[in-house]
Amino acid sequence: MKVREVQHPAHIVPLAFLITILIGTALLMLPVSRADAVGAPWIAALFTAVSAVCVTGLVTVDTGTYWSSFGQWVIMALFQIGGFGMMTAATLLGLLVNRSFRLRTRLTAQAETHTLGIGDVSSVAKLVLFVTVIVEVMTALALALRLHLGYDLPLAEAAWSGLFHSVSAFNNAGFSIHADGLIRYASDSYFLAPVMLAIVIGGLGFPVLQDLRNKLRDPQHWSVHTKLTLVGTAVLLAGGAILLLAFEWANPRTLGSMPAGDKLLSAIFASVSARTAGFNSIDIGGLTHESLGLHYFLMFIGGGSAGTAGGVKVGTAMILVMLVIAEIRGRMDTEAFGRRISHSAQRQAITVLVLSSAVVVLGTVFILHTTEIATDRVIFEVISAFATVGLSTGITADLPDSAQLMLILLMYIGRVGTITLAASLALGEHRMPFRYPEEHPVVG
């Protein structure tokens, strides 16, 4: 029972994010942060700070023209801190959950494994930092070179753009210094490929990266979580690209006018990006109804646990898929890759899915009630905020303050809430002194 008394880090994370947001807001309100040297209004500064710290990328003002060079550095620092903090915090919480689970199943009472030592924190933070620096530097170099050689950008400008987009990609932040996102690079695979690679690596999540790094040649020994995440990611990436290609092939506002090769590149990029990065190389406002619906799905699921991705996470969704498959096959246990998925993991996954859906529904109803915008666009923006994707059909900048505040709340809950919720649920479970008799109520 001691687990419940320990002051676990699930309480510290929301506070740490809040403080970072407040500092970011204050910095962005300084006149030096604005391109025209007049302090930004609090709501624009707050929205941008929350969007950056929660690595969302939704904006109410154009990053490249509204903010000064200093302001853009602040924004980049905020999403770097946000991404790094999220990855570290979620990995540490996962460590704690895992220890508590092992403790309960093995019944070996080692009291010290309840808590995290300072050694855990620093070793995880060091590893996260290592991965971050490696991926970001390599991506930045590739992008800067491409911009310098392919677009004749001066070296300083190419380096700055390369760095900004590299950090933004790895942290799945989706911020761009261009008002139209990456549409200008829509047919440039030399630019988009490194971006996609950084997005996917950042989005897989730290536990998966660690498994890949330690046991790359030994897939049998990957954890079930790694296998579920990799399979789920592959299916979502490929399925998303194929469906987008089918839905947008002839749409003149998106892929219609492109040659076939560019259609393929754009569909793949959109599929990669929809699951939380939030860069766009096509006009999201021009998507067909069915592609918008596909985006709801991809955005809501998001990326891997304990990474820079948002959403309910691929692993969570895959547990649900495995549950349904087991039920249809008539298996007593929910199984995956030769392992039985614990009842508590299943129930936690469902709880995360249900509560996340409830938040999305409440947010949608609120904005529908306060504006006159079409339902499909409101749902899109709400899921984009909650899953910290940052794609937009173009309505965010024109929303009234109340609706912008709702998006701010959704970004914060979506980013901080999902990881702390899952950890709190897992750590909060306790055995009862007795069990009620079993009953099998009617279903369906």
Q: How many Å apart are CA 49 and CA 373, to the nearest integer?
A: 25
Toward K ion, which CB reaches closer, 58 or 209?
Answer: 58
SS3 assignment, position 39 = coil
Toward its own copies, which CB reaches closer, 80 or 334?
Answer: 334
Q: How many Å apart are CA 364 and CA 407, to the nearest integer?
A: 10
Structure tokens that stand for 174 in this block:
């989706």
Toward its own copies, which CB reaches closer, 144 or 314?
Answer: 314
> How far apart are CB 208 and its own copies at their closest, in Å?
9
Q: Are the beta carbons of 413 and 359 closer than 8 angstroms?
A: yes
Q: Which does 433 bind (CB under 5 to 8 A by kind): its own copies, K ion, none?
A: none
- C-alpha distances in angstroms, 96 versus 72, 90, 261, 312? 36, 10, 47, 20
Smallest CA-to-CA distance from 417 within 357, 377, 366, 364 is with 357
Toward its own copies, which CB reaches closer, 188 or 283?
Answer: 283
Toward its own copies, which CB reaches closer, 101 or 190?
Answer: 101
Smallest CA-to-CA distance from 335 within 233, 327, 350 is with 327
Q: Backbone dihedral region of 304: left (phi > 0), alpha (psi from -120 to 50 degrees) or beta? A: beta
Q: Are the beta carbons of 79 and 171 closer than 8 angstroms?
A: yes
Q: Which does 390 bind (CB under 5 to 8 A by kind): its own copies, K ion, none?
A: K ion
Q: At what angle are helices 42-53 and 69-106 packed, to 10 degrees?
A: 40
Contact residue for K ion among 174, 203, 207, 303 (CB under 5 A): 174
Contact residue for K ion among 181, 278, 363, 417 (CB under 5 A): 278
Q: Which does 396 bind (CB under 5 to 8 A by kind): its own copies, K ion, none?
A: none
Q: Which does 57 bind (CB under 5 to 8 A by kind): K ion, its own copies, none?
A: K ion
Q: How many Å apart are CA 221 and CA 228, to the nearest integer?
A: 13
Toward its own copies, which CB reaches closer, 137 or 325?
Answer: 325
> How far apart are CB 204 and its own copies at their closest, in Å?
12
Over the window 21 to 60, marking each residue x when it contacts K ion by CB under 5 A and - when it does not, the resulting string is: -----------------------------------xx---
Contact residue for K ion among 304, 390, 414, 417 (CB under 5 A): 390
Applying CB under 5 A, which residues contact K ion? 56-57, 172, 174, 278, 390
